[in-house]
Amino acid sequence: MTTTLLLEQIFNGLQAGITLFLIAAGLTLILGIMDFVFLAHGSQVMIGAYAASAVTIATNNFYFGILAAIPITFICGYLLEWLIIRHLYKRDHMDQVLATFGLILFFNEVIRISFGPAALFSNFPPSLSGFIQILPGTPYPVFRILVILVGLACAVAIHLFVSRTRVGAMVRAGASNPEMTAALGINIKILFRFIFAAGATFAGLAGMMIGPLTSVEPGMGEPLLILSLVVIIIGGIGSVRGAFIAAIIIGLVDTIGRVMLPMVFRIFMSGPTADTAGPALASMSVYILMAVVLVFKPTGLFPPKGA
């Protein structure tokens, strides 16, 4: 394992982590602040990816695709909250699980009916297909660097919004005591709706960015949903800062573990055994990490204050 390879893997881990953060940021607020168990967040990723790919195919312009997909995902999130989610806040968590699991099936089927069961074509434009030498002799795809930068920009924007703006203060107030916040004359219902729609948009943005890298197909968001739930548990439910740090940790552990563990196993095992045991342990690594965190810090690494 050379240093250049390690550096490259760190970039890969960062990129994976940043994508997870975009999904987890909204979800942690929905779970933590709104106290709502929402499982269909992966569908928002899929909607973002499909919206961007469909508009890109129709207009033959990648940037139009992104520009159109951002408002589409926001509107989808807004309507979803208004039509369905708001009626479920008062129900218990099991009802919420059932209803939002139903939404996953619903969204997958809607996508299958409207776009067909086959994966949709999606790729980034030639202008973004170049490479940047992160170290001499180590080319790294521009698009993946862009994913990291966009994700970091979103993280900074979310942080500034929550900690520096008036609406952000309302979000924080709503998080620690929703009844008191409402009593002070803040329309908590509208606030929740906007948090929900913003969360959906960030998840959609993650979908738009992974669409050109992976296959855009029905159900593409579910594996990411599971990982982002792990991120939220490790980071502390309701904490955006926790989600950010946990997402980066998960991204790095998963990526580097996948490549390194089989190599490490090869040192003290025969080749074929290591080739089987390594990947098996690597795919468990993030869950082992979650279990360890839960043992030592049951509320996560960065539980929000007052929670």
Residues interacting with another protein, by CB under 8 A? 2, 4-5, 8-9, 12-13, 15-16, 112, 116-124, 129, 131, 139, 141, 143-144, 210, 213-220, 223, 255-256, 258-259, 262, 271-272, 275-276, 279-280, 282-283
Shortest reach from residue 290's CB to another protein, in Å: 17
Instruction: Choose among 173, 180, 195: nearest CA to 85.
Output: 195
**Residue closer to another protein, measured from CB, 187 or 276:** 276
Q: How far is the CB of 270 from another protein (least distance, A)?
A: 12
Closest to another protein by CB, 126 vs 298, is 126
Q: Which is nearer to another protein, 149 or 157 (CB)?
A: 149
Least distance CB 254 / another protein (angstroms): 8
* Region of 236 on the Ramachandran plot (φ > 0 left; ψ -120 to 50 alpha; else beta): left
Q: Which two tokens stand for residue 178?
A: 């929703």
Name the minimum Å distance from CB 38 to another protein.
22
User: Minimum CB separation from another protein for residue 188, in Å?
Assistant: 37
Phi and psi based region of residue 247 (left: phi greater than 0; alpha: psi -120 to 50; beta: remaining):
alpha
Q: Tokens 């904490």 sit at which residue?
A: 239
DSSP 178: H
Q: ∠ CA(219), CA(118), CA(222), 5° rounding?
A: 10
State which residue, 158 or 210, has the beta carbon closest to another protein: 210
Q: Which of 78, 101, 84, 86 has the alpha carbon at shortest distance from 34? A: 86
**Closer residue to another protein, CB minimum distance, 65 or 174:** 65
Give the closest residue to 42 by CA, choosing from 229, 268, 290: 229
Helix (H), strand (E) at residue 137: none
